Each structure stands twice: as C-alpha cells, then as structure tokens.
Homo-oligomer: A and B are copies of this chain.
Amino acid sequence: MSAPITADRVREWGRRYSNWGRWGPDDELGTINFITPERILAATSLPRRGQVISCALNFDHKGPQTGSGPRHNPIHTMIIDGADALAGAQNGLPGGFQYADDSVIMPLQCGTQWDALAHVFYDGKMYNDRDISLVTSRGARKNSIDALKNGVVGRGILLDIPRFRRELWLENGTAIGPEELDACAEAEGVSIESGDIVLVRTGMMTRCLDEGSWDGYCGGPAPGLSIHCAPWLYEREIAAACTDTWGLEVLPNETVDCFQPLHMISLRNTGVLFGEIFHMDALADACAEDGRYSFLFTAPPLPITGAVGSPINPLAIR
C-alpha cells in the first residue's frame, strides 16, 4: 500500500521532472523543442493514403460548456447575411455584390484546444522560472500560445485505450498509467519516440455524444492520465499529450490535497504542451481499419498575442 500523494510530493516531482533552463533561459517552446527538423521530415514520410482527418469538435452552442461559468460555448453572430440581402439591407455595393460576415465570442479553452505554457502555475512561477506577474489582464508576456506560431507539426500517435481494452469507453475515474500507454502502443505496433505528439483516446467524448449529454464532462469525474505518467512524459520526451476529455488527467485526481497535479508537474515544469477536448473517433476508426497508428500531425494554434490557449483544428494526415 502506497502513501497518499500530497501537494508536497507533487512539488518534489515538479523539481525532478523539470526542463527549466534545458533550452536556455529564453525558451518558450518547452517540449516542442523535441520536434527537431529531422523528426518533422520523418513525420512527413508517414502518410500512405492522402487522407486528412480532423480531431476537432465543431465549435458551436452544442459544445461541452453547459455550465454557467466563465467558459461558455462559442457565440457565433452574423454581422451581415443573405437574409439581409433579401430584405434589401445590402444595396450599398455596386453591381449586385453582396456578402455575409460573422464574428465569434469564445473562451480560448472552450473546445478543442492547446493549453499554452502560461496556462497553469503555482508558487508564483510558471514554465521556465518565469514570474506569474507576467500574466495580467494585458495577456501573457511570456509563454503565450503565439510563441508556438510556427507549429505544431510532427509525428502523431493515437493510443486508443478503449479499443486496446476492448471496451466502448473507459469509466469515469479510470486512471491510465504509463504501463498501459506502453502496452497499448506495442499492441498497435508503434514505439513512442522523442518529440512524439501522443493522442490518448479514453472514449469519454464518444460516450457523451452517444448519450447526448455533456453532464459532468467539464470538471466532473473522468477517465484520464494518471499522475504516474509524469516521469513517462519527461523521460520519453513527449512533445505534446492530448485527450478527448476536458482536463487530460483522471478525475477525481489521485492526490489528496491538490488539483490537476499532472498539469502542475508536466505543464509547468516539464513544459509539455497539453491538448484537450480532441474528437478522436473518426481517427480511431481509420487507424483501426488499416492498423497504422502513427501519422503526420498538424495543429497550428491561432497566434493570438499573449493568449494562454488556443482553439485548434488538429489534423491527422495519413
């Protein structure tokens, strides 16, 4: 029987699995540094089918943000549209030219997204020993998502845990440990390498869409990565870790006195890029069909200056 995992131990692991300074004091890329030009080139050689599969959930009012908190679903509004044209409100431009324009109001973490390295912190510090006073109402002056403007491109690996377990989806509260990640990869015929972008499918989104309800999806009990994945992420030199859940980690957390400990360790200290609310079902089907679980992966963030996250449309190119 193991001792309970405390916030103190989380901080200790944070120090142990730290990449602060590894790429110099000015680094804002974190583990994306592991994706070298050689690895990008290698990734471009993976596609066999010329098939492109999105891992984004559509951004709209049917998204998972059903609560009344500050993260709401995207609000899409039309500035001008076809109905206006029919009503005679678009007669200003010559030659009959008419158009539609629109706008969106969206929390940057409301749907399929990257967390920037400025997204979480503790003890006054974020990634690479930077003070959190750099993150104010004016945005993040360091570690913001636009630092990743020339990315994210690399080798993607889908770890389809429900299929590996021969289940439809993992039950809430199921922790996925490093041994299972390795076993799943082996069963899929892939080996995890430095600079890989790892997509871990839990099936939680599949279940929510199947049941037609997002109840509990945002912040409630969920399957997800175990805190014991922290050394795995560090040692395997994972560039990015993504799930089909709200917060990547298993909930309730395995810690007795702290919240989202893997964020605390791996995002803040290791500098891993976290992807959340990925929709992996179509990709999972395609991988199962031809047995190829690695692919060229590209998910460019919108370079919103100073942002601490970005909505994305991640693409698997196979």
Residues of A within 8 A of B (CB): 7, 10, 36-41, 44-45, 47-54, 56, 58-62, 66, 68-89, 93-109, 118-124, 126, 131-140, 146, 149-151, 153, 255, 257-261, 263-264, 296, 298-309, 311-315, 317
Residues of B within 8 A of A299 (CB): 300
Nearest residue (CB) in B for A93 is B259
A82 lies within 8 A of B309 (CB): no
A105 lies within 8 A of B105 (CB): yes
Alpha-carbon distance between A192 and B39 when the two chains are bound, in angstroms: 29
User: Which of B94, B100, B101, B258 is in CB contact (< 8 Å) with A95?
Assistant: B258
Alpha-carbon distance between A94 and B261 when the two chains are bound, in angstroms: 10
A104 lies within 8 A of B70 (CB): no
User: Oligomeric state, in number of copies?
Assistant: 4
Alpha-carbon distance between A77 and B309 when the two chains are bound, in angstroms: 12
Please name 14 further chain A to chain B contacts, defined as beta carbons within 8 Å, in addition to the given A71-B101, A97-B260, A103-B105, sorted by A numbering: A7-B95, A59-B303, A81-B135, A82-B87, A86-B86, A87-B136, A94-B257, A96-B123, A97-B259, A98-B121, A98-B122, A99-B120, A103-B106, A105-B105
Known: A106-B103, A302-B56. A79 touches B87 (CB 8 A): no
